[in-house]
């Protein structure tokens, strides 16, 4: 087979539909597409393992798999292969979910023609390449960040240690200006150390976290609050947590990091006389829950609403951002890895509400997984 | 710290026949910053059965640290030490000899049998508690204990 | 109060990173126990010191150190090899060796304990914690633990 031939695997159990696709593809001139067929997901995945396939046309309703599960299992069976989903009706929601789950594109079975099919397949393959390359570049970047920040720690330790020793031993031999300079060096080295720590955490947050599991959010929030009780008492803060927070699917340690960061910031950097922090759920929709952490602090100017989540932007505005604390970049990265997102609603002088979404754990999720197993 | 990796409490095995010393050691290790569980074996045979997970000890967790008295009934502490350090699986577990003898020969012999450390038990109560806390302060917070490998 | 050795404890520090040497020395300086600290910068020098060879042949007849602090990443001869040679030698096999190194890898940890290291300590990255760890280790091994006598 010449390397210009595109090898396509059709996974479709309905013989009529399969024939339709075959004929449609045959219309595309030049014999450039080579089509094979499998009628169950299992045989399809086996076929993928044997010889390279460039793209998969995937029917979602198969004898041994249904819906989004099919997409997931196909991706597991052949990571990196471009998948174009075939839907029987104009089911936009399912199609969009399939894309979100990792399919490159979708086609409605009733509206196929040779050109559309050919174009869709070619685009899907290209996109697949790009996504793979992007993933690889990101991994390399994270790996780089990790090594650099790891290696930076050693000279930083020396910096901190020796400026400390100098202060201890020679402070009385320096004049006030000299001591001031020395303190500035010591402070700067601590700031740099904290920054490197954050970079390290950020790079770790990007790696594949541990397996997600069911997390009791109410319990988690309770633990965090108990952990910072001394700070809460010292600030005289009042915390209110909604009852009945839904369980979510997440990696527990990282989720704890998210909540700890947001709640901690809300308490620590709230300059009002009677700090209030409210935690709860604002909405549940399409399998995702939108949580909020709201405070009555100084608020954040709308022009910074996106930039506060950037790692380095914060540094330039240290004075202004002291209030938002550290780690929002990490929080954002972690949430994105868990399939959610984060944003803020706030006006200056009117407090801030951090909103973030997470996939809800539902009974349905459990039983689908049991069936698929 | 071993527990750093998993967030689980550190498992300590105390091999000691004197009930008073057992009680004091438990007291001293109880309220500390690092979570730990203490199992007690009252003679050498029990200690070995527990370490080898024989019989009723089939589900016992592998200790991260062993505190071992030398003078034990049934099987003497030196013999227990020898067998632990001869066993490939048990060998990495740090063994701290915690015993009354201050005799140099005993000390030398224990290190010769590959004891990780030898601590002489003070007779006086306050000092005893303080020594146990120092053991905790060192072995549970500063030291990196070897991970128990999956069996 | 806690029994101390009457003579100053003799300690050999095997460490190639000069900054870590300085920090370690300073941490020891804070201890309330008496000690003498020798520093060597690579594995070969460590072996020469311990076996009284090369530039240290003049040490023949002197007692071995009471305690060795051993980094694993050393030039010339690495830490694990130094440890193995110590344990293989009749005269040095009971000498307490504390591995003090940056690695957190299980293979290094397990490997060191299996080779007969008495203790493994991962050098804390944080400077204050590093000082604290050295202070605790010095205090424990010199004032609390009983060290084997060095008489041949």
Give whole-number Cα distances, A59 to A26, A63, A128, C86, in Å. 19, 10, 19, 67
pLDDT attached to residue B39 = 94
pLDDT attached to residue A363 = 64
Q: Which two tokens stand for residue A58?
A: 């995937």
Question: Which of B111, B122, B143 shows the shortest C-beta gap to C148?
Answer: B111
Q: Which two tokens stand for residue A25?
A: 């593809």
Give whole-number Cα distances, B71 to A329, B16, B79, in Å. 58, 8, 10
pLDDT attached to residue B8 = 72
pLDDT attached to residue A372 = 43
Q: What is the DSSP letter of C122?
A: E
pLDDT attached to residue B3 = 35
How far is Cα C120 from Cα C101, in angstroms, rounded to an integer? Answer: 8
Chains meeting A at 3+ CB pairs closer than 8 A?
Answer: C
Distance from CA of B110 to the nearest CA of C (A): 9
How far is Cα B27 from Cα C69, in angstroms, rounded to an integer? Answer: 32
For residue B80, pLDDT over 90 is answered with: yes
**DSSP characters over A272-329:** SSS-EEEEEEEEEETTEEEEEEEE-SS---GGGTTGGGSTTHHHHTHHHHGGG-S-HH
> What is the arithmetic mean of pLDDT over B71-80?
94
Interface of C with A in 132-151 (CB under 8 A): none
> What is the arithmetic mean of pLDDT over C82-98?
95
For residue A316, pLDDT over 70 is answered with: no
pLDDT attached to residue A373 = 41
Nearest to C150 by CA among A348, B107, A116: B107
pLDDT tens digits for A319-341?
444 433 447 888 888 898 888 99
Q: What is the DSSP letter of A16?
A: H
**CB of B125 within 8 Å of any CB in chain C?**
no
Q: What is the DSSP letter of A125?
A: H
**DSSP characters over A205-235:** HHS--SPPEEE-HHHHHHHHHHHTHHHHHHH
Which residues, in sequence order, are CB contacts of A1 under 8 Å at separation 6+? A7, A34
Nearest to A193 by CA among A162, A154, A156: A156
CATH code of the domain occupying C9-143 = 3.40.50.2300
Distance from CA of A144 to the nearest CA of C (A): 19
pLDDT attached to residue A31 = 67
> What is the arithmetic mean of pLDDT over A339-361?
90
pLDDT tens digits for A236-263?
899 999 999 999 988 887 888 899 889 9
For residue A131, pLDDT over 90 is answered with: no
Q: Which residue has the tokens 């344990």?
A: C87
Q: Which residue has the tokens 């997600």?
A: A212
> What is the arithmetic mean of pLDDT over A137-142?
84
Higher-scoring residue by pLDDT: B87, A64: B87
Search chain C and give the residue with CA nearest B116: C118
Higher-scoring residue by pLDDT: B110, A143: B110
Give whole-number Cα distances, A10 to A53, A122, C121, C130, in Å. 10, 15, 57, 61
How far is Cα A109 from Cα B148, in angstroms, rounded to an integer? Answer: 56
**DSSP characters over chain B:** -HHHHH-PPEEEEEE---HHHHHHHHHHHHTSSS-EEEEEESSHHHHHHHHTT-GGGTTPPPPSEEEE-S--SSS-HHHHHHHHHHSTTTTTS-EEEEES---HHHHHHHHHTT-SEEEEPPSSHHHHHHHHHHHHIIIIIIS-PPPPPP-
Give the domain ranges of chain C: 9-143
pLDDT tens digits for C91-124?
899 999 999 998 888 899 999 999 999 999 999 8
How far is Cα C133 from Cα B138, in angstroms, rounded to an integer? Answer: 8
Q: Are C147 and C96 in contact (CB under 8 A)?
A: yes
Question: Which of A157, A164, A165 shows the shortest C-beta gap to C125?
Answer: A157
**What share of chain B in percent tops pLDDT 90?**
73
For residue A164, pLDDT over 90 is answered with: no
Q: Are A279 and A291 in contact (CB under 8 A)?
A: yes
> What is the arithmetic mean of pLDDT over C63-74?
95
Interface of B with C in 38-97 (CB under 8 A): 91-94
Search chain C and give the residue with CA nearest B95: C118
Residue contact B143–C121, C-beta within 8 A? yes
**DSSP characters over C47-88:** HHHHHT-GGGGGGTTSPPPSEEEE-SS-SSS-HHHHHHHHHH
For residue C20, pLDDT over 70 is answered with: yes
Question: Which of C22, C125, C131 shows the shortest C-beta gap to A153?
Answer: C125
CB contacts of C127 in chain A (<8 Å) are: 157, 160-161, 164
Cβ count within 10 A of residue A123: 15
For residue A368, pLDDT over 50 is answered with: no
- What's the distance, Cα to Cα, between the start and end of chain B in Å? 20
Angle among Cα C124, C129, C132 to the nearest 5 degrees reads: 120
For residue B60, pLDDT over 80 is answered with: yes
Distance from CA of B46 to the nearest CA of C (A): 24
**CB of A160 within 8 Å of any CB in chain C?**
yes
**CB of A162 within 8 Å of any CB in chain C?**
yes
Tell me what the pLDDT averaged over chain A comes to.
83
ipTM, interface predicted TM-score of the complex? 0.90
């Amino acid at each position: 087979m010449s390397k210009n031939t595109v090898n396509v695997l059709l996974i479709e159990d309905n013989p009529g539909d399969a024939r339709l696709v075959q004929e449609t593809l045959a219309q595309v001139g030049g014999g450039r597409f080579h089509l094979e067929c499998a009628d169950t997901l299992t045989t399809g995945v086996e076929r993928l393992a044997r010889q390279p396939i460039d793209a998969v046309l995937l029917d979602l309703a198969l004898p041994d798999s249904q819906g989004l599960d099919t997409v997931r299992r196909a991706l597991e069976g052949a990571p990196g292969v471009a998948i174009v989903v075939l839907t029987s009706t104009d089911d936009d929601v399912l199609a969009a979910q399939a894309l979100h789950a990792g399919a490159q594109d979708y086609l409605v079975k009733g509206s196929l023609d040779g050109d559309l099919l050919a174009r869709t397949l070619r685009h899907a393959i290209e996109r697949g390449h790009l996504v793979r390359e992007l993933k690889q570049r990101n991994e390399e970047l994270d790996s780089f960040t990790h090594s650099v920040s790891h290696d930076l720690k050693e000279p930083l330790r020396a910096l901190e240690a020796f400026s400390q020793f100098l202060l201890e031993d020679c402070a009385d031999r320096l004049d006030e200006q000299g001591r001031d300079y020395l303190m500035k060096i010591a402070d700067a080295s601590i700031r740099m150390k904290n920054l490197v720590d954050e970079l390290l955490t950020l790079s770790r947050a990007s790696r594949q976290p541990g397996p997600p599991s069911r997390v009791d959010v109410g319990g988690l929030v309770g633990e965090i609050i108990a952990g910072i009780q001394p700070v809460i008492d010292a600030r005289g803060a009042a915390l209110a947590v909604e009852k009945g927070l839904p369980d979510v699917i997440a990696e527990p340690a990282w989720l704890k990091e998210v909540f700890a960061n947001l709640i901690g910031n809300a308490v620590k950097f709230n300059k009002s006389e009677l700090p209030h922090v409210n935690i709860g759920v604002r909405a549940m929709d399409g399998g995702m829950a939108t949580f909020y952490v709201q405070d009555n602090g100084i608020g954040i100017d709308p022009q910074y609403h996106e930039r506060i989540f950037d790692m380095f932007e914060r540094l330039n505005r240290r004075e202004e951002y002291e209030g938002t604390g550290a780690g929002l970049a990490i929080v954002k990265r972690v949430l994105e890895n868990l399939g959610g997102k984060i944003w803020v609603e706030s006006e200056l002088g009117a407090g801030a509400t951090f909103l973030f979404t997470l996939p809800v754990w539902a009974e349905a999720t459990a039983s689908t997984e049991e069936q698929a197993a | 710290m071993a527990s750093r990796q998993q967030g689980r409490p550190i498992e300590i095995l105390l091999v000691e026949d004197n009930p008073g010393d057992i009680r004091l050691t438990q007291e001293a290790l109880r309220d500390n910053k690092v979570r730990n569980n203490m199992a007690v074996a009252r003679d050498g045979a029990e200690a070995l059965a527990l370490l080898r997970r024989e019989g009723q000890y089939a589900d016992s967790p592998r200790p991260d640290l062993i505190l071992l008295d030398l003078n034990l009934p049934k099987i003497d502490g030196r013999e227990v030490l020898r067998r632990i350090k001869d066993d490939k699986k048990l060998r990495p577990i740090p063994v701290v000899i915690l015993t009354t003898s201050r005799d140099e020969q005993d000390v030398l012999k224990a290190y010769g049998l590959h004891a990780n450390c030898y601590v002489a038990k003070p007779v006086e109560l306050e000092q005893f508690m303080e020594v146990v806390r120092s053991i905790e302060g060192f072995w549970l917070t500063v030291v990196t204990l070897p991970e128990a490998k999956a069996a | 109060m806690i029994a101390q050795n009457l003579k100053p404890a003799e300690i050999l520090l095997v460490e190639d990173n000069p900054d870590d040497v300085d920090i370690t020395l300073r941490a020891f300086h804070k201890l309330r126990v008496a000690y003498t600290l020798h520093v060597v910068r690579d594995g070969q020098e460590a072996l020469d010191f311990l076996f009284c060879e090369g530039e240290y042949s003049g040490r023949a007849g002197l007692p071995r150190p009471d305690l060795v602090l051993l980094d694993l990443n050393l030039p010339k001869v690495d830490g694990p090899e130094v440890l193995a040679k110590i344990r293989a030698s009749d005269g040095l096999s009971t000498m307490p060796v504390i591995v003090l190194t940056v690695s957190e890898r299980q293979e290094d940890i397990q490997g060191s304990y299996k080779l007969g290291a008495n203790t493994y300590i991962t050098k804390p990255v944080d400077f204050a914690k590093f000082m604290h760890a050295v202070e605790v280790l010095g205090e424990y091994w010199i004032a609390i633990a009983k060290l084997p006598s060095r008489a041949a």
